[in-house]
Amino acid sequence: MKSPNEMVRINNSIKVLDLLINKEMSRVDIAEETGLTKTTIGDIVKNFLNIGFIEEVKVPPNGVGRPSISLKIVKDFAYVIGIGILRDSVNGCLIDSSGEVLYNVDYPYIEENPQINIVYKAIDELMRKAELTNRKVKVISFGVPGPLDTEKGIIKEPPKLPEFANFPLIKKIEEKYNVFAYLENDADMGAIGEKYYGKGKDLDSFIYILYDKGIGAGIIIDNHLYRGLTGYAGEIGHTLLFKNEELKYFEDEYGIDCIVKSIGKIISKPIKSIQEVEVLSDKERKSIERFTEELSRYFASILISLIHYFGISNIFIDGRMKYLGDSFFNQLLNFINKYMFHKHTINISFSELDEYAISQGAAKLGLINFFKTQIIKYF
Amino acid sequence: MKSPNEMVRINNSIKVLDLLINKEMSRVDIAEETGLTKTTIGDIVKNFLNIGFIEEVKVPPNGVGRPSISLKIVKDFAYVIGIGILRDSVNGCLIDSSGEVLYNVDYPYIEENPQINIVYKAIDELMRKAELTNRKVKVISFGVPGPLDTEKGIIKEPPKLPEFANFPLIKKIEEKYNVFAYLENDADMGAIGEKYYGKGKDLDSFIYILYDKGIGAGIIIDNHLYRGLTGYAGEIGHTLLFKNEELKYFEDEYGIDCIVKSIGKIISKPIKSIQEVEVLSDKERKSIERFTEELSRYFASILISLIHYFGISNIFIDGRMKYLGDSFFNQLLNFINKYMFHKHTINISFSELDEYAISQGAAKLGLINFFKTQIIKYF
């Protein structure tokens, strides 16, 4: 147990870390943004320099005068592998401590192979890439479908991903690779990815939606991931719908797999993937119009609820939903604009990171949490 | 414009104020909870003592030793009137600076009278109560149906309250009473009321729902009112429903006034108020069962969405919805328990403050904002 004073020092250190993770700053800048005194900042910075994850750099003066000293994260303090365990594939990346993405990989699951082996394959590939250039991977961090037990590092019973039910992922990874391992909900990691690498860069608050077989939201409020008290915030896939006198969860009716199945039924020609929707004939496209209209109505009302409940105007949609194409997306926007109660500017668009938002966000949050463990160790 | 350094000092002062508003604390306790140094705290406390809204009190030692010095809000620094402008009535209260409620008043609107006159009547009555005992009212603070322009102090176009459309409330009040005036959304003020005077006392995060003619939610996250980027967070009354192939806003179908109308139609006997539902005959009660079942289903799914989206487990419902009675409430809970995706303990119950949550919350938040203006003035 840490003493109250130690807890204060740790919390203040984390405040400073949160700033330096985003940009180079001088001690004076940090004092201004945190409200901490120069002495407190001095102690924290000294500690960070000792641990070794920040360094001092001289910044030439604007006009005449002495150069000022700025603090920045040391790029090669630790390399981090981020892994997104998706419903049909695994993607991953290698980043350095400044957050720069060095490699991306992407492997589909293969039917006869256990899915965890594909996860190991992605990690091994990224490990090999790192070793080739003498980079030391110290952290492997995961974005995975929930529900999770984040404390114990266990994936619980993710819908539509049965092989990972009650899977002690963190224990397995720590044993196999001897690194610091971390996991968090896929949509939450995607939101972090969007924050550092995507359209969320200059936004304090936004919602990231992962729309695939599972449907979830990651919520960034005031530059921080909002998890809620239960850790389950953003569980939009389980919004209730009333359809044909029955109650259904949105995800169970309109997950990407369900959409594929429904469209196959309507056009009487089974399709395998949502990508095939793009190459439907005009006649087929016409026949699925009622279905996509209905889907856009249900999804639009979830988006409207998010906007009205959270008072947030920026929403980025990731996952394979984008393959439904522009006409669907326009339907969606028209709907939202029609039924927004308060007229204010909204910005709803597709993520440009594809599902790499998840692995890149996982890497970044894994790195931050690794730094935090180092800070706590030093007290 | 304040300089960055002044802004830091103001923000730190507000952090300290937020603590003292809740309880007596020593300088050491404050340092521990805020992470600020003793020098910084010393300066802030000196400033607060100068302004005059806190005082030092000696606390006898637990065992042997010297008494310690604790800081507390001065009860009679300023008295505050809180007003809830409701759809059919006005309620109000008088509090002292420690937050203690001294009086409550409640006036229904009278048909031939402009509603603003009832507001003045409530204020005048509370002013008179204050003057009788030489109390000085410095703040009048309002909880009113949105949308609002909080910066300009204008009520915009509240549904079901046409007399207050585009009403410059704050200007009128400041001119008439020469006090500091403040306004905020009714459900937000209710949430603050619930936080300080009701079931939210010991909770960091919860949702307060005002279910009346208008339906809205006030959201407390980590002990603070969450307003969202747009200021409109918690707008649950405008959740979209699909009913008989049409899209409707929840509030327009199931606001208390709509419920009264629908029930009157079903039992073929117009009723005037929701209170009359309590005295329906068994036969009449039976005939409205399908309607209340439908209502409980729609409202339950909104509550489930709130729980799933925000990851919050404590919800308190205020407003006249309580007159629908226990059997309705049990229907609601059964529904929620059946369709909660993650099984965790939830606590959904009626507020015990009635709509006084709104006026009392308004008073408390008005007081806090008045203190903040004093702090800013002193820099």
Which of A6, A308, A343 has the most B C-beta neighbours within 10 Å, making it the best mutation to test the interface with B?
A308
Query: Domain ends where: A73, A91, A119?
Result: A73
- Alpha-carbon distance values, A319 to A209, A358, B136, B328 (Å): 8, 10, 60, 40
The number of distinct structural domains making up chain B is 3
* Cβ-based neighbours of B170, under 8 Å, separated by 6 or more: B152, B153, B154, B181, B182, B183
| Partners of residue A227 in chain B, C-beta under 8 Å | 311
Alpha-carbon distance of A115 to A111, in angstroms, equals: 8
Q: How far does the CA of residue B42 sit from the closest CA of chain A (Å)?
A: 13
Contact A105, A126 (CB under 8 A): yes
Residue B179 — very low, low, confident or very high, per pLDDT cuts 50/70/90? very high
Across the range B238-251, mean pLDDT stands at: 90
Residue B248 lies in a domain: yes
Average pLDDT over residues B131-146: 95
Does one domain contain both A164 and A127? yes
CA closest to A309 among chain B residues: B234
Contact B358, B189 (CB under 8 A): yes
CB contact under 8 A, B308 and A238: yes
Q: What is the pLDDT of residues B321-374, one digit of tens each?
A: 999 988 899 999 999 999 988 777 899 999 999 999 999 999 999 999 999 999
Do both A282 and A153 map to the same domain? no
Across the range A235-246, mean pLDDT stands at 90
Confidence of residue A229 (pLDDT cuts 50, 70, 90): confident
Q: Is residue B178 part of a domain?
A: yes
pLDDT tens string A319-328: 999 999 888 9
Between the CA of residue A251 and those of A42, A236, A239, A292, what are the distances in Å? 50, 8, 8, 15
pLDDT band at B319 (very low <50, low <70, confident <90, very high): very high
| Cβ distance of B311 and A37 shorter than 8 Å | no
User: Where residue A244 falls among pLDDT bands split at 50, 70, 90?
Assistant: confident
Do B221 and B325 fall into the same domain? yes
**pLDDT category, A369, cuts 50, 70, 90?**
very high
Look at residue B242 in the predicted model and tell me its pLDDT. 86
Q: Please give the DSSP secondary-structure letter assigned to residue A223.
A: T
B111 and B63, same structural domain?
A: no
Written as six digits, the tokens of A156 are 């619980």
Averaged pLDDT of chain A? 93
Express each pLDDT in B54-95 by its tens digit. 999 998 877 777 788 999 999 999 999 999 999 999 999 999
> Do A309 and A325 sit in the same domain of this protein?
yes
For residue A341, give the chain B residue with the closest CA. B238
CATH code for the domain of B21? 1.10.10.10
- For chain B, the average pLDDT equals 93
Q: Are residues A233 and A327 in the same domain?
A: yes
What are the residue ranges of helices labelled H in chain A?
4-22, 27-34, 38-51, 115-132, 169-177, 186-197, 250-254, 256-266, 282-287, 289-310, 325-339, 356-377
Instruction: Give the domain CATH number at B315.
Output: 3.30.420.40
The string of pLDDT tens digits covering residues A152-204 is 999 999 999 999 999 999 999 999 999 999 999 999 999 999 999 999 999 99
- Residue B73 tokens read as 């809000």
Task: Specify whether the CB–CB gap between A54 and A45 falls below 8 A.
Answer: yes
Residues A253 and A278 in one domain: yes
Distances from the Cα of B126 to the Cα of A113, B135, B173, B268, angstroms? 75, 11, 14, 43
The reply to whether B197 falls in a domain is no
Q: Is the peptide bond before A61 cis (omega within 30 degrees of 0)?
A: no
- A14 and A96 together in one domain: no
State yes or no: pLDDT of B1 exceeds 70.
no
Q: Do A207 and A329 sit in the same domain of this protein?
A: yes
For A310, which of B15, B233, B238 is closest by C-beta distance? B233
Closest CA to A366 of A170, A163, A120: A170
Instruction: Please give the average per-residue pLDDT across B243-258, as a whole number.
Output: 92
How distant, in Å, are the alpha carbons of A70, A286, B221 from that of B207? Answer: 43, 44, 9
**Predicted local confidence at residue B245, as pLDDT:** 79
pLDDT of A352 above 80? yes
Q: What residue in A sits closest to B11 (Cα-Cα)?
A: A35
> What does the buried/exposed string (b/e) look like for A333-351 if buried means 16 or more CB atoms within 10 Å of the residue's CB?
bebbeebbbeeeebebebb
pLDDT of residue A1: 60
Helices and strands: H and E segment counts in chain A:
12, 16
Percentage of chain A with pLDDT > 90? Answer: 81
* Beta strands at B314-318 and B206-211: parallel, antiparallel or unpaired: parallel
**Same domain, yes or no: B337 and B292:** yes
Q: How far is CA A168 from CA A7, B203, B253, in A?
A: 30, 32, 48
The answer on pLDDT for B15 being more than 90 is yes
pLDDT per position as a tens digit, A87-138: 999 999 999 999 999 999 999 999 889 999 999 999 999 999 999 989 999 9
Considering only alpha carbons, which residue of chain B is nearest residue A243?
Answer: B242
pLDDT > 80? residue B188:
yes
The 10s digit of each residue's pLDDT in A40-75 is 999 999 999 999 999 999 988 777 777 889 999 999
Report the pLDDT value the prediction gives residue A336, as an integer from 0 to 100: 94
Continuous segment of H or E residues that includes residue B325: helix B325-339
The answer to whether residues A204 and A344 belong to one domain is yes
Domain that holds residue B59: 4-73
Give the model's pLDDT for residue A37.
86
Closest CB from B230, B339, B342 relative to A313: B230
Beta bridge partners of B246: B243
Query: Among the three residues A47, A73, A99, which one is the final residue of a domain in this structure?
Result: A73
Average of per-residue pLDDT across A220-238: 90
Q: Which whole number is the average pLDDT over B266-287? A: 92
- Position A344 scores a pLDDT of 76
- B342 contacts A232? CB cut-off 8 A: yes
Considering only CB atoms, B11 lies closest to which of A35, A39, A232, namely A35
Boundary residue ending a domain (A23, A42, A73): A73
Same-domain check for residues B46 and B88:
no
User: Given a cut of 80, is residue B239 above it in pLDDT?
Assistant: yes
